[in-house]
Structure 1
Amino acid sequence: MARSNETFNKKEKEKKRLKKQQEKKEKAEVRKENSSKGKSLEDMMAYIDENGNITSTPPVAGRQNKISAEDIQIATPKYVPEPDDLIKTGVISFFNTAKGYGFIRDAKTQENIFFHVNNLNYQANEKDKVSYSVEKSPKGLSAVNVTKI
């Protein structure tokens, strides 16, 4: 009698391969059953309740609030400066006459704001009380129209 060409190891590998194939088919069937394809529109619909939460139940007809399209803001509102924000006061905390720049410490926020000699309306010294307005520069905020109080 001749020996079989299949060894024990080959048989085990074949069994594992067939088992994997079977598991793969079972998983595919489960995915197919649970997939959302082919559902009706009502099954896929989501609603928002009065608290802003997403639910699957439709809202009650009597509780609906009417909202006009003009009331909805998609972007952030534009910043409109108040009159007291336009002209600020502060104290010159640092001034370098050789290089021509300095910093003003704001009286309200205690924030340091950069200024250049070209934006001065007088001969500046450290610890001078000044009024100024702020404008945005490429490197941040800078003071313009700096005048002594």
Structure 2
Amino acid sequence: MNVTIELPDGWRPVDASPNGFPNDFLAVGPPGYRDYSPTVVLNHNDEVTGSLEEWIGETIDMMKKQIFKTLHVIDSATTTIAEHPALVYVSTFTVEALNVTQEQFALIDRPEGGPATGYVLTFTCASAEYPEYVDTFATMAHSFEIPGRPA
């Protein structure tokens, strides 16, 4: 998938599927607190049904049960990404005794006559550094363009 996300200085794309996790795009920033590098990951789902709220609610429930058992959603909001309504969720979880903050921007593209495709941009960083990355994450999220759609 040809992905457009503007990366700030010091960030670089890496193998999008480390450890067998299928991602459409993955980039890392410079190591920071306790050598934890911030990341941005893009995933898509070509089989989205229902509303954006329903889809993301199911996704968060799955993450809590299967991936990050310590995940806690601490805030949510709405925004616009790639001219589509989007939901933003901020959550925290623990990885190897490190508190991590995750900010997810989710949207659904429903082209006329075509299937609905959901996109989730997931940004993570050490929680101690989250205040430093809030604006960076928002800037990257708002630079996202839906693959194959005119900008």
User: What TM bracket, shorter-length normalisation?
Assistant: under 0.3
Higher RCO (CA-CA < 8 Å; seq separation 6+) = 2
Larger Cα-atom Rg: 1
Higher strand share: 2
TM-score (norm. length: structure 2): 0.19
TM-score (norm 1): 0.19
